[in-house]
Structure 1
Amino acid sequence: MLSGVLFDLDGTLLDTVEDFMAVIDSMLDEHQRPRVAPELIRAQVSDGSIGMLSVAFATRPGEPGFDALRDEFLTRYERALAVHTRPFPGIMPLLDWLDTEGLPWGVVTNKLSRFSIPLMEQIGLSERCGSLVCPDQVSQGKPHPEAIFKACAELSISPQHCVFVGDHLRDIQAGRAAGMDTIAALYGYLPAEEDHTAWQATHSVYTATDLQPWLLGRRNLETIDV
């Protein structure tokens, strides 16, 4: 039985890349560095500030100045979390359908609580979200399934009756490790060279609009009396 749905946050539920780009661009300008192509930053969003800064400033953790850049980035982003961020097209109708059907939904993310909680509040989804699990709330983040188990417990559903949607390999790995069906959100922040077929997700979608028909189809199959 389909009893609930869990989503990754950045690149799956919310399109956050423009707010990240705004911070990166302002930092590059102030540091008198050339701007980088937006698609390069987009492909690094799932790897967080470390991935984005590594590409934008051609540096790595442990190199001189990296920690200061990261602190600057996080401070600036925290001040402007939801200027351009919006749910992906198709997400709001899907959430409306889940609410109408009485199917609880939640978010399991590797984005820290300090950003995730106010972001969901500013977007207007915090009251509707049945569970929001961040990496600082568990001992092990994705791809470990601990956060998924916590979210399912908060939603009062079995992992086997839940579906996890994500745009990164670790999302699919976490969902599979929890024993649930998984959907690869290929509209998210995947590098162009990523081979998503190797993820072994249960299903893949190229737009968020395609999520509801698949979930509806699965639920309808469960109602057939065989």
Structure 2
Amino acid sequence: MIKTVIFDMDGTILNTLDDITKSINVSLEYHQLPIKTKNEVRKAVGRGALNLIIDVVPENSDQKLIDSVFKKYQSYYDTHSNDLTAPYPHMLDVLKQLKEMGYKLAVVSNKYEYLVKKLNDDVFESIFAVAIGETKDLPIKPAPDMLFKAIKLLDSTIEESIFIGDSDTYMKTAVNANITSIGVTWGFRDKETLIKEGAKYIISDPFDMIKIISEG
């Protein structure tokens, strides 16, 4: 029986693409580099901020340039992470319903942890009992460590938990943790990618989460 529901953040519960794209392009323009389209950024999101920068700067950029763009991106995004960001349609209703049904809720993200906690507080009114992000001591997904930490903090087990995400990285995370996964198609990757990387369920409507979880 499912008792714990763990969510990814970007592309799963929050549409963060506009703010991320804006922050990327501010950083690139500052360094007189070509800007990226929203679709190009979409394909690069999901493996942490540093990997995102590596993907959007010109190929063969040296480490000094990568570090400088990364620093500018962090500085800008820190103060603009919630300008255009919003929950996906019906997401707040689904989360509130799951909480009212007695499920323990957590969010784990490859964003830095202070941003994950800030967005949990500002956007979701702290609906998630546990909010985990990247720290120096915690490997980012697809390493399973974030899931294990969330499950431990919620006094749950792998068997009682389910993980919901939108990308190949997160489906790989679920496989690595040996946890049941739901792939969502409204995020940053397509259905075929999610299936290929091991999603047990695929949904295109947030309300379908309630049915799958309650029957799990």
What TM-score, normalized to structure 2? 0.87
Distance 1:196 1:95 in 2: 22
Distance 1:141 1:24 in 2: 20
Contact in 1 for aligned 2:47/2:110 (Cα 8 Å): no
How far off is 1:131 after superposition?
1.0
Contact in 2 for aligned 1:187/1:208 (Cα 8 Å): no
What SS is found at the alignment partner of 2:202? strand
Letter of the 1:196 counterpart: L
Letter of the 2:57 counterpart: F
What's the counterpart of residue 164 of structure 1?
163
Matches within 5 A, 1:74-153: 74-126=74-126, 128-136=127-135, 138-153=137-152
Distance 1:189 1:153 in 2: 28
Change (3 A) 1:205 1:54: same
What's the counterpart of residue 223 of structure 1?
none
What SS is found at the alignment partner of 2:103? coil
Distance 1:194 1:70 in 2: 31
What's the counterpart of residue 179 of structure 2?
180
* Alignment of 1:204 onto 2:202: yes
Letter of the 1:120 counterpart: N
What's the counterpart of residue 13 of structure 1?
13
Distance 1:110 1:44 in 2: 13
Contact in 2 for aligned 1:89/1:209 (Cα 8 Å): no
How far off is 1:196 after superposition?
2.6
What's the counterpart of residue 69 of structure 2?
69
Larger radius of gyration: 1
Distance 1:49 1:140 in 2: 13
Percentage identity across paired residues of the two chains: 22
Contact in 2 for aligned 1:14/1:86 (Cα 8 Å): yes
How far off is 1:78 after superposition?
0.4
- Is there any run of 5+ residues in structure 2 with no aligned partner, and where? none
What TM-score, normalized to structure 1? 0.84
Query: Of the candidates 178, 193, 204, which is equivalent to residue 195 of structure 1?
Result: 193
Contact in 1 for aligned 2:28/2:69 (Cα 8 Å): no
Contact in 1 for aligned 2:168/2:193 (Cα 8 Å): no
Distance 1:19 1:150 in 2: 28
What's the counterpart of residue 222 of structure 1?
none
How far off is 1:102 after superposition?
0.9
Distance 2:32 2:8 in 1: 34
Letter of the 1:159 counterpart: I
Superposition RMSD in Å = 2.4
Larger mean CA deviation between 162-171 and 99-108 belongs to 162-171
